[in-house]
A and B are shown apart, each in its own frame.
Chain A
């Protein structure tokens, strides 16, 4: 059974960058499709981007296109999210999730990581 374990909470200054990791255990990592979703305090879920390690080419939501980088390390079965030029509006819980069926009518996320709180202060 696949599990996703994320790195711990981060506190960052405005203008800096943060890198969050998501390590997978179980399953064949290279064919996973992994997505990143964030949730600001009191708000809903927001899709940020995704990657399939074997292809290596990430896709980003337009909102984050110029400051988001999603990468993978197949040796450690880890996906990374790096967000730069942070502002207080980036304060949120960041989740990774494995996604299925992204090119079909039936699609879903399972499992989710436990979440990583990123706090941005001025």
Chain B
């Protein structure tokens, strides 16, 4: 079966750095996405990785290792508004998105 694992919840301090991990086992791979979802709102696109390595976009970076079936989202200089759930999703061989359950990130002052 297809499976995406990410921690259920993480806590971090404002101004700090946090890394959210995602491991996957899917039938084929055509890219990995990270989405942000604030409580009661829709998911919004953060990043897309299809090749190994690090993609940096402002305070957010996303890393991919296809051989290890592993990705992480790195958030720097945390702000209170970063409190949200972060969803990892993999595009499988049929170009269907397989979603993880999401990681709820709590930011404390």
Partners in one complex: no
